[in-house]
């Protein structure tokens, strides 16, 4: 049994790849365009022509595909073998035979693996490093994959104190086995659904349909990702900024949340560091 399968079997890891495989059925040109738009907005660029792009924890492969469509040379990797298969499936469907997009299995905690990849104009890791089991080590590792004057675009769960610690317990329960998963889903999925329905009424619009306009994602698959997403770590924005800046970066852009979701950061690696 490989490391990933062993972690899943003992309740130490959520199978993100299984969730992403279900999500693939929803991927279309609109979602790809929305994913590309979110990259362009946060990075402050019109396209990625001529740039190299490392997708750390590529998940479904949607953002790797979006980056490639924007002109980047892309390397994607993920620890979850089913996520790797998802990215390869997207590549086969939308860019068959493309030599400028490679996909493989790897871990953000594997220093030797990351060293073997070299340096990139853009390293992207959205909502991934807090699921590795050693977030600070993973952050330190990815900092070394960016070229001088290159960009690091990451998203990390916000630290909300007791609420974050409570959700860590809930996610552990979800991954503990069938009984835990059914209990967590039975309690929280109806709550999420009702809350979103109330939001639809309050806003006078279909929030479910509009959700895909946020990074091209899917509300139902994101709920599963949130409930089961373990390992689960978090940090406040100041902690992340201090950690990355100590490694020779300057903060270029930040988008924070008051809730449990992701704070988003774009850093630029200083020349000479």
pLDDT one-digit tens code per residue, 198-218: 988 888 888 777 765 566 677
- Site of tokens 């009702």: 194
109 and 209 housed in the same domain: no
Provide the token pair at 3. Answer: 């490391």
207 and 101 housed in the same domain: no
156 and 168 housed in the same domain: no
CATH of the domain at 7: 3.40.50.150
Torsion angles phi and psi, residue 44, rounded to 5: 70, 40
141 and 7 housed in the same domain: yes
- What is the C-alpha separation between 143 and 22, in angstroms, rounded? 31
pLDDT of residue 221: 83
Mean pLDDT computed over 155-162? 98
Contact 17, 83 (CB under 8 A): yes
E strand residue ranges, the chain: 52-56, 73-78, 101-105, 120-126, 146-157, 249-255, 262-269
E strand residue ranges, 6-110: 52-56, 73-78, 101-105
67 and 201 housed in the same domain: no
Q: How distant, in Å, are the alpha carbons of 10, 98, 160, 165 from that of 106?
A: 21, 21, 30, 28
179 and 67 housed in the same domain: no
Q: How distant, in Å, are the alpha carbons of 79, 112, 188 from that of 84?
A: 8, 19, 29
Packed helices 81-94 and 62-69: angle between N→C axes, nearest 10 degrees: 40
pLDDT of residue 212: 56
13 and 89 housed in the same domain: yes
pLDDT of residue 209: 72
Q: Which domain holds residue 173?
A: 163-228
Mean pLDDT computed over 166-179? 97
| 237-252 pLDDT tens trace | 999 999 999 999 999 9
- The predicted model scores a pTM of 0.94
Packed helices 219-228 and 178-203: angle between N→C axes, nearest 10 degrees: 140
pLDDT of residue 2: 76
| Structural domains of the chain, count | 2
Contact 245, 238 (CB under 8 A): no
DSSP for 101-127, written as a single string: EEEEE--TT-HHHHHHH--EEEEEEES
61 and 124 housed in the same domain: yes
Torsion angles phi and psi, residue 82, rounded to 5: -70, -30
118 and 167 housed in the same domain: no
140 and 196 housed in the same domain: no
| 73-132 pLDDT tens trace | 999 999 999 999 999 999 999 999 999 999 999 999 999 999 999 999 999 999 999 999
115 and 246 housed in the same domain: yes
Mean pLDDT computed over 171-186? 96
Is pLDDT above 60 for 176? yes
Q: Could you count the other beta carbons within 10 Å of the beta carbon of residue 228?
A: 23
Q: Could you count the other beta carbons within 10 Å of the beta carbon of residue 216?
A: 23
Percent of the chain whose predicted confidence (pLDDT) is above 70: 96
259 and 192 housed in the same domain: no
């Amino acid at each position: 049994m490989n490391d990933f399968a062993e972690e899943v079997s003992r309740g130490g890891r959520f199978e993100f790849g299984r969730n992403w495989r279900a999500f693939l059925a929803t991927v279309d040109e609109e979602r790809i365009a929305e994913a590309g738009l979110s990259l362009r907005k946060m990075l402050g660029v019109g396209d990625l022509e001529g740039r190299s792009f490392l997708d750390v924890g590529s998940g479904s492969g949607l953002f790797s595909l979006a980056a490639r469509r924007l002109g980047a040379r892309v390397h994607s990797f993920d620890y979850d073998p089913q996520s790797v298969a998802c990215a390869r499936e997207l590549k086969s469907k939308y860019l068959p035979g493309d030599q400028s997009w490679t996909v493989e299995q790897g871990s953000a905690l594997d220093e030797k693996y990351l060293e073997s990849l070299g340096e990139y104009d853009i390293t992207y890791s959205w909502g991934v490093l807090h699921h590795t089991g050693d977030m600070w080590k993973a952050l330190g590792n990815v900092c070394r994959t960016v070229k001088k004057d290159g960009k690091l675009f990451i998203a990390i769960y916000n630290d909300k104190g007791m609420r974050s610690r409570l959700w860590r317990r809930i996610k552990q329960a979800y991954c503990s086995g069938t009984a835990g998963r059914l209990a967590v889903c039975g309690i929280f999925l109806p709550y999420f659904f009702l809350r979103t329905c109330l939001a639809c009424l309050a806003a006078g619009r279909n929030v479910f349909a509009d959700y895909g306009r946020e990074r091209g994602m899917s509300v139902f698959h994101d709920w599963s990702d949130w409930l089961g997403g373990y390992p689960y770590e978090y940090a406040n924005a100041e902690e992340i900024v201090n950690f990355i800046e100590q490694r020779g970066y300057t903060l270029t852009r930040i988008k924070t949340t008051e809730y449990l979701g992701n704070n988003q950061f774009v850093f630029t690696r200083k020349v000479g560091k």
